[in-house]
Amino acid sequence: MCGIVGYIGKRDVQPILLNGLSKLEYRGYDSAGIAVLVQDQVKISKAEGRLANLSVQLDKQPLKGSMGIGHTRWATHGRPSDVNSHPHSDMSGKFTVVHNGIVENYMELKIELEQKGITFASETDTEVIAHLLAEHYEGDLFTAMLAVIQRLQGSYSLGVMTEYEPDKLVAVRQSSPLVIGVGQGEYFMASDISALIEHTREVYILEDGDLAILTQEGVSITKVETGEPATCKLLHIDWSADQVEKGPFEHFMLKEIHEQPLTLRNTMLGRINDQNDVIFPELAHASGAFQHVDKIFIVACGTAYHAGLVGSTVLEKLTRIPVQYDIASEFRYRDPIITERTLVIVVSQSGETADTLAAMQESRRQGAKVLAITNVPTSSVARDADYVIATKAGPEIAVASTKAYTAQLLAFYLFSIYLAQERQTLTTELHTKLIQGLKALPVQVEKVLENANEVKLYAESIKDADSLFFIGRGLDYAVALEGSLKLKEISYIHSEAYAAGELKHGTLALIEKDTPVIALATHMDLYEKTVSNIKEVKARGAHVMGITVEGNVGLLNSVDEICFIPPSHHLLAPILAVVPLQLISYYASLALENDIDKPRNLAKSVTVE
């Protein structure tokens, strides 16, 4: 998982590449590099570590030119090092490549090339591409690229340049995101729209098998398989540049936590009509399509999977359709029973998650209809799904997802009500309560955020903990899983989440004096049982932070500290209950002086399997 950028035009390319890489650093940050055509010769500068290291290097030895490519890396093949950093070149230095993805047959290709006398400088899979280009080049970069692509197996997006043709850049996409930006006499390529938005809002979203040639005169896009022109449409992007800036916040994560009320309003906007029915204009073509669904799968990874856990309970309760949830990386390997009456819901913030895309493709192959919940309506998931519900969180930069998660929860609530309306499985009373509850959520989240200092003190108190536990029942358990993931992601404190009723089946052995436990008790039907479980850990010496609904003051008798959330229907409580957990993770990490937006070993978009 990496970020790539490219530019051709009349401006100085170095600051454009560095700025683009700064917007993509969330995709990988163990090394970075750029290649610039300097007086018809490609010059490369690259450095292990954060982009700042490369910037310092370039301050001392700048690369002046008007065409170049850049890369920020999250290592898959070869340890982080200067040598393994991209861009990579062939032995002559005439062909230079940046790559996001994995060449699955690279070892076979490497052995073949070494037998021909090729010497490799790095441990990466990417370097084989540069050497193959040199081998196949006969005066035309386009033709050479077509030949090389035929040799590659796996997923990749590529940016390529050669000294032999100093007037063009080549971009190729196969199962890894790539966009082309169109300016006035200048053109861009990048893994993500966020890297281009300062310069242009007019973009082509490349499809799998697209090859683009960029010159100062324009862009041509070809389908590799047929050799025919691709039918990409030029799209206008509505994002503003300030959406990918921190503004007054110290970190993107804190900014995105505080953007959740707006995200909820935006995701709800236009989806509840004057009669208080849930409507989806984007599902107008699906009228009646869900009437015969007899089984639903929810498939996702990480935080999106946790949103799916909540979604599965809500969907099943409101629609009375059996719902199964699964981790995308496991789903297709267990031979799931899928029929034409199965609806598969895939969830992905980026819409480019490799495992989720693969699960989706397998589901469609077996005849299921696929509904995608994604934050990027131009993504691969959105383009390949039968139906799409776009969350409207705007760009999410921090690796640890917050506003995208609550937007996904809201999308599940809205779709569950929508489907229940269609199937007439929802009572008028419950329908009214849920709609009223949904409309109240943005203001209620604002209220939770106003009390952030209460959980900040608790977060600072756990920064030296060796281990921490989250417990809850029902939907609280799903929220506990997300809270535990957030804490692990950015604070590096070991934490686990357990269904509170399972404590006595083994987990209590881990509880000792002063072990921190965060207990969620927002589900009133299960409240007394949860309190009983809290008393079990307290009896073993745990220090318990309780999270419950305003009015449950009796919980103070069973916990050491407490955080109240506004009252809501228990099905909607996960959106409110997760906010304090996000803040606890943030402030614990801040107290530990960690790099909150770029936690170690992680990248935002997991575009390789």
Catalytic residues: 2, 604
Angle of CA points 398, 497, 312, to nearest 5°: 80
Non-local (6+) Cβ contacts of 482 within 8 A are 303, 306, 307, 405, 578, 581
Q: CA-to-CA distance for 399 and 406, rounded, in angstroms?
A: 15
Q: Strand, helix or coil at 126? A: coil
Tokens of 561: 């500290």
Q: Phi-psi category of 41—alpha, beta or left, where left has phi over 0 and alpha has psi -120 to 50?
A: beta
Tokens of 57: 């290097």
Closest CA to 204 of 169, 170, 230: 230
Quick check: 231 and 179 in contact, CB under 8 A? no
Q: Strand, helix or coil at 443? A: helix
Quick check: 169 and 370 in contact, CB under 8 A? no
- Tell me the backbone φ, ψ of residue 267, rounded to 5 degrees: -70, -30
Closest CA to 389 of 362, 407, 366: 407
Q: CA-to-CA distance for 417 and 429, rounded, in angstroms?
A: 13
CA atoms within 13 A on the CB side of 320: 10
User: Is omega for the bond preceding 87 within 30 degrees of 0, making it cis?
Assistant: yes
* Start-to-end C-alpha separation, the chain: 10
What is the edge-to-edge ordering of all strands in the sheet holding 494-499?
494-499, 467-472, 516-521, 543-549, 561-565
